[in-house]
Structure 1
Amino acid sequence: MSQPETGELRRQLGVRDAVVIGLGSMIGAGVFTALGPAAGAAGSGLLLSLALAAVVAYCNATSSARLAARYPRSGGTYVYGRERLGDFWGYLAGWAFVVGKTASCAAMALTVGAYAWPGQAHAVAVAAVVVLTALNCTGVQKAAWLTRTIVAVVLAVLAAVVTALLTSETVRAARLDLGGDITASGVLQAAGLLFFAFAGYARIATLGEEVRDPKRTIPLAIPLALGITLVVYAAVAVAVLAVLGPDRLAQSTAPLTDAVHAAGVPALAPVVRAGAALAALGSLLALILGVSRTTLAMARDHHLPRTLAAVHPRFGVPQHAELAVGAVVAVLAATIDVRDAIGFSSFGVLVYYAVANAAARTLGPDEGRPPVPVPLLGLAGCLALAFTLPLHSVLIGGSVLLAGAAVYGLRRRTAEG
């Protein structure tokens, strides 16, 4: 049997495309799914948790941008960890990203189903995965164009919702006050859950091999995407808290829908449901892109089956990797619960960024090293948030990472033997 063609990917994405792909990953990931579980952990400290998650995300984004500019290849922190810290740490980062973000893909697919057709959420989720995987296989530019359209519509929906909530008679500023139910562990746990919403800027770095002028584009696109997302999240969180309060928000499985009903504008509820489904579609589209590129990079180095490194000669995309990722996500979307997926995904991605910060710390002054406190704060923040997530998320995430490390060890021993 002939070996698959494993050529280079095409550099087609500019700054605007990269920013939009980052926004598409982040906007859909958190506004409609993570606010409720985070409020359950932090109570009235939700906004503190959002700020903490944003600080850690900023450190991670800065470290990732500097590394991506130096190593503009597919794979993100898998590549950076391998180049700066050694093969094992690169492998561990890649493994954490692939398994964590595969869970994110399933969570986003289920969000599409829950909002689009609640009675058939799993079936709709699987259908969404199949359609978007097929689209990704035809070229990254088509995915970027669709993401741009989705982001524009979702931002318009969120602007309408925030305006309606903040101008309603049910708004109470007292609901934003920091009450007595705040604990440090609760704030940290909520920040870890909210970090799920900020992690989409990794998509820009993992697409490094498909970005034009990466040394300029990536360091510009990552902070832009993160900054816009933070403004959007803060506005939505303030508006929903002011209407529902932390207790009702914690109990809600559809916070924005419940908020517009409570604010006396139920006519917006169908718009919110459509916007949520569309946002989750955009996030799912970008997530599949990112996971497949890391899979490609690991397959090139024989950590995954070599056939996954194949690049389609016409479309210039890692078609085998995208089909494999789509198949696994479809199975998960048919079987798992969205809230469990969020916690597990957060753990894996926080470990991934811990490696990124450790790698960035080794950059020299002539290699674009970030300010010294940034990677140190990012590393400490990632580890703190990862191990204060719900216990079952830590146990499952830790077990999956240990299993990956064991496979790596067996493979090395076999190769050396």
Structure 2
Amino acid sequence: MLQRRLRLLEAVSLNTSTMVGIGPFITIPLLVASMNGPQAMAGWVLGAAVALADGLVWCELAAAFPGSGGTYHFYDSAYGDGRAGRLLKFLFVWQFFFSGPLEIASGAVGLAKYLGYFSPALLGTAWSWGDFLPGLPGRVAWGQVAAVGVMGLATLLAYRRIEMAGRLMVVLWVGMLATVGWVIATGLLNFDASRAFDFPPDAWSPTGANALGLGAALAIAMYDYLGYYQVCYLGDEVAEPARTIPRSILISVVLVSLVYLTMNVSILGVVPCREVVKSDHAATDMMLRVHGSAAAGLVSAMIVWTAMASVFASLLAYSRVPYASAKAGHFFRAFAATHPRGDFPHRSLILIGGITMAACLFELETIIAALLSSRILIQFVGQIVTVFLLHARPDAKARLPFRMPFYPIPAVIALLGWLFVFGTTDRLVLAYGVGSLLAGLVAFAIWDRTAGRGDAPP
């Protein structure tokens, strides 16, 4: 049986470690390129507003329905085993296998890219997919192979009791704070405002291209913000969940929003915008410019540590999703088991770790785009709609121990933000998101007809 031993410090460290991770260190060039200038920082500000608004949605649901599994548990508690409930729970688990491991893999692949600073051979090609199937595009770098090994190590570290994993999470979190703090301090102490705010002439013109660019910038920002809700996946292991979870979410969003904006502006104040766009290691390049190669090497190592914290936190949280769905009867029963001596879902952990290892063999840009497009509708939009429905019930006050201020404004902001990201996505990636959802609907129809009951394993 799972034990409630995670407190506020562990919850905040889990959320913030997932949010920071490798994301901002590898996406700064992509963010600036999305709008061709430092005005792309507007994406961070808009992303912070959407993340805070959406965080309040998670706060309401987590306080009302504290338990493991995150969104799956919310849908199970809110809709039960009626047809709508079975559909939403099935589709969440379905999309989870399209997006969850991809999110963890993005951290592992990004970590391997920074390892490439020490060993350039990791940037070389291990094999091309066309070697196995002629005409198939894409290649696998040695760094991606290294990322598979990173995931093996993370799985091994997570294979232990939750209180031990929680203490390890705090240790990794402290390393993350030191890394981000050093990068920010270096940037601010060598800050040049004219360089940081070197806007092009058409920076703020209301053109269609700028709107699409802002959508791309917001998507990148939201990818980097992902994780403010991570503790919700371990709800059965949180002490005083109705109080601890909302506090940890709001603290995490505010803290990381300030960190991101400060860090990105400080880097742009040292490294010219045009150089940032072309860089694979913006933070390393800044340290190299200011302090030399020794500092650049050290910060690269610290970023690798930070990325490992993110990978570990994500794996720890997401491994509880198959466990929660299996425990409720909506996934294979074998994954509802916990370790006989450690009280953690060991089979579910191995499953997610294995899928993530396979996902590491895809290119980073593909991983990021695919994970967002496949989860926006069924998870984020679905949760917002659920909050609207809960507020419409006569017993809303009793059902919602935490209520967002100024309802429904935050929920509407979150809804519009996620729909804007989805609507401005590249067509091919959009097709992946819609296609995976349609495939899930077909799979549900088959499963629902053959299983006959919501409590039978698919």
TM-score by length of 1: 0.92
Aligned pairs for 1:4-403 within 5 A: 8-44=1-37, 45-84=39-78, 86-87=84-85, 88-117=87-116, 118=119, 119=122, 120-168=142-190, 171-179=192-200, 180-181=202-203, 183-263=210-290, 265-333=292-360, 335-351=361-377, 352-363=379-390, 364-366=396-398, 367=400, 368-370=402-404, 371-403=407-439
* One-letter code aligned to 1:155: L
Distance 1:42 1:365 in 2: 44
* One-letter code aligned to 1:113: A
Shift of 1:84: 2.9
Distance 1:399 1:303 in 2: 22
1:338-366 Cα shifts (integer Å, max 9, x gaps): 12111112223433222222212223233
Shift of 1:382: 1.1
The aligned counterpart of 1:5 is none
Shift of 1:281: 0.6
Shift of 1:108: 0.9
Distance 2:330 2:280 in 1: 39
Shift of 1:174: 4.5
| Structure 2: 5+ residue stretches without partners | 123-141, 205-209, 391-395, 454-458
Distance 2:46 2:74 in 1: 25
Shift of 1:406: 1.9
Percent identity over the alignment?
A: 24
Distance 1:73 1:175 in 2: 44
Contact 1:20 1:147 in 2 (8 A): yes
Q: 3-state DSSP class of the match of 2:269? A: helix
In the alignment of these two chains, the number of paired residues is 408
* One-letter code aligned to 2:332: P
| Structure 1: 5+ residue stretches without partners | 1-7
Q: Which moved more, 1:268-277 or 1:240-249?
A: 240-249
Q: Which moved more, 1:13-22 or 1:197-206?
A: 197-206
Q: RMSD of the TM alignment (CA)? A: 2.0
Contact 1:347 1:386 in 2 (8 A): yes
Shift of 1:92: 2.5
Distance 2:411 2:94 in 1: 21
Contact 1:193 1:346 in 2 (8 A): no
Distance 1:25 1:220 in 2: 16
Shift of 1:74: 0.9
1:146-203 Cα shifts (integer Å, max 9, x gaps): 221122122212222222223237x343532543145121011111121111111221
Higher Rg = 2
Q: 3-state DSSP class of the match of 1:201? A: coil
Distance 1:172 1:267 in 2: 26
Distance 1:377 1:19 in 2: 24
1:64-84 Cα shifts (integer Å, max 9, x gaps): 011111111111112223433
1:20-69 Cα shifts (integer Å, max 9, x gaps): 11111011042222222222212332211001111111111111011111
Distance 1:191 1:178 in 2: 18
Shift of 1:414: 1.5
Distance 1:403 1:301 in 2: 23
Distance 1:347 1:54 in 2: 19
Contact 1:29 1:196 in 2 (8 A): no
1:393-417 Cα shifts (integer Å, max 9, x gaps): 2222322222222211210121249
Shift of 1:244: 2.7
Going from structure 1 to structure 2, the CA distance change for 1:298 and 1:13 (only over 3 Å counts) comes to same
The aligned counterpart of 2:130 is none
1:312-355 Cα shifts (integer Å, max 9, x gaps): 2321111111001111111221x211121111122234332222
Distance 1:392 1:275 in 2: 35
Distance 2:437 2:163 in 1: 33
